[in-house]
Chains A and B, each alone.
Chain A
Amino acid sequence: MPEWLLNFPAMTPDALRSVTRSIDAGYLSFSRAFGDAIESFFDPLLLLLIWFEQILLRTPWVIILMVLVLIAYGASRNLRLVAGVLIAFLLIGYFGMWENTMRTLAIILVCTVIALMIGIPTGIWMSRSDRVQAIITPVLDVMQTMPIFVYLIPVVMLLGLGKIPGMLAVVVYAIPPVIRLTNLGIRLVDKDVIEAADAFGAGTWQKLARVQLPLALPNIMAGINQTIMMALSMVVIASMIGVKGLGQPVLQAVTNQYFALGLFNGLAVVGLAIVFDRVSQSYGKRLQQHR
């Protein structure tokens, strides 16, 4: 049998090396040239995150706890849920994880807000045009399947270690569900109701605000929920590039085989996730009382 059938006719190692080298060199010179500019572009976000983190860290824990309880009650009107939130945070505090939890809370909230601010309009845009959908869908596929570490490399090369690359990683990882489900939700809105809105001469904006978004709300809420969950699951990985919070002790525990330390902090992440999930879900349900 000829040689080229037995072994895949790959490019020579030298050629491959020169390709990867030239890409690396190109990216390196790009990051040298524009790294500072891009970093300063993200400065406002950094300031926002630091400001919010400081508020959470400096406010006495009792007040934070009260605010959390009030938010949980306001969103759900469910006393059992409120009691759950209270117990979760009391346990977190008692086991000495309050500060790290506040740091994680800060980055998760900021990342979620950014993800929603970008994701919901993107989803709306996608729902309005099949062409836009055809372009964005593969991008989302890449974002969701590309191993996180792979896109951490260029981000860290560009921006170094720290909060900003961490936030970018979290947002990139967490944004696809809200985009996808906003798009899907709007596309699934009952065609009859859309037709009725058209027949009464509703404008594009009226139709979006009064018909499409409210009727797509269950799906959009599911997307928001998923986005929050995915942001939380990125906490540990983000800690590898220098984001402080509950991820760091977990990372420490992994490298040093501290089982209990890992477990406690891991449970704190789970606790945060459940609180976020239940509160946002029941808020979503309250918005749809008519069903």
Chain B
Amino acid sequence: MDETHGQIEEMQSAIVLQRLTKLFGPTPSDVLPFVHQGLDKNKIFNEHGHVLALRDISLKIETGKVQIIMGLSGSGKSTLLRHINRLIEPSAGRILIRGRDVLSLDKQELRKFRQHQISMVFQRFALLPHRTIQDNVAFGLSAQKATSSAQRETANTWVHKVGLGGYENSFPAQLSGGMQQRVGLARALATGAECLLMDEPFSALDPLIRTEMQDLLLELQSELGKTIIFVTHDPDEAVRLGDNIAILKDGELIQHGAPMQILTSPKNDYIRTFIQDVNRGRVVSVGTIANGETKTCDGPDIVATTPLAEAARLLTNHPDVSARVVTEKGHPLGSVTLTSVVEAMAAR
């Protein structure tokens, strides 16, 4: 009974990481037992000369969702991401993608897997400076050995989809950072891969462009429904894009859950400090704070999924009333006032 349940769950998960551990050093297998004994990261380095990058990470990533991996630099988030397409080999553990053991692939199979099933977007774009935008977008397709007309056609479609129509024959150096990352995104999407690994793709961009790129990603994702693993150190970005967030610290998975869950019940102080500056007004919906009774409400109705900031704006003209919070179908859930909304936005 329990087993079948587990199997169903695994089929729904696009990617399953099981007890992934990574040690950097000359003889990881000798040091591995100490990791399993729970020896401290610093001790492993000082006494055994190995860097523990990841310890026992188990994670299920759902199909068609955006999974955030968040952590400070050095927390192992980029290392973890690179295990999924085996740019880095684990010291121990298993990686399953759609039930298939990625670690069992031989060289040839691994190349095929990377060509067709998983693609990647890089922090510093990693475009080919001597190739045009069109050719850069077609890079994955040429690795797949697609016909040149198919390459041209598909690349062209994606160049337009990311809003770079007209720049097909430019070179990367002629484009701004944001535009270069659009190329990176188009290159990753053009291969048709189902999984997309994104390694801090927007952290090199300035804030305005970053928001613009997040919008673009959300828009494309609502249409494409890819399984995205998105690494970031920015909590705002994480709650904005993520369906689920995994937080790493010193190579260990500290908490994993939906953004709201992490915002409303952080597991420890580390996470609390991490998320304290998140703009709750944009993420937390008014439904989560609606309470009490609705009969005496005299204000406008607000749909439960409305973000707090939006609700506050609706209520600024009615500072003294309490407003009914309703489901999309109009069922009353509770009420809020301007004060309760602002309090929730300012919560730490």
Contacts and interface: CB of A to CB of B under 8 A. Distances in A.
B124 interface: yes
Interface stretch (B57-65, B110-118, B148-156, B244-252): B110-118
A193 B139 CA distance: 12
Main secondary structure of the interface of B (DSSP, over half): mixed
Interface stretch (A34-42, A206-214, A231-239, A243-251): A206-214
Contacts of A196: 120, 122, 126-127, 139
B126 A200 contact: no
Interface residues of B, number: 31
Contacts of A201: 110-116, 140, 143-144
Given A192-B122, A290-B171, A291-B173, A198 B114 contact: yes
Contacts of B13: none
Interface in A202-235: 202-203, 206, 210-211, 214-215, 217
Interface in B134-183: 139-140, 142-144, 171-173
A200 B124 contact: no
A195 B173 contact: no
Range for the number of chain A residues in contact with chain B: 20 to 34
Most A CB within 10 A of own CB, among B126, B171, B172, B191: B126
Contacts of A202: 111, 139, 143
Interface in B80-137: 85, 87, 110-116, 119-120, 122, 124-131
B199 to A, nearest CB: 9
B130 A200 contact: no
Contact of B130 (A192, A199, A206, A290): A290
Contacts, number: 70
A199 B119 contact: yes
Contacts of A18: none
Nearest to B141: A200
Contacts of A190: 126
A215 B129 contact: yes
A22 interface: no
A137 interface: no
Contacts of B187: 200
A190 B123 CA distance: 13
Contacts of A195: 87, 122, 126
Nearest to B117: A201
A20 interface: no
Nearest to A193: B126
A203 B111 contact: yes
B168 to A, nearest CB: 14
Contacts of A193: 126-128
5 contacts: A193-B126, A195-B122, A202-B111, A214-B130, A291-B173
Interface of B: 85, 87, 110-116, 119-120, 122, 124-131, 139-140, 142-144, 171-173, 187, 191, 197
Given A200-B143, A203-B111, 4 more contacts: A192-B125, A196-B139, A199-B85, A214-B128
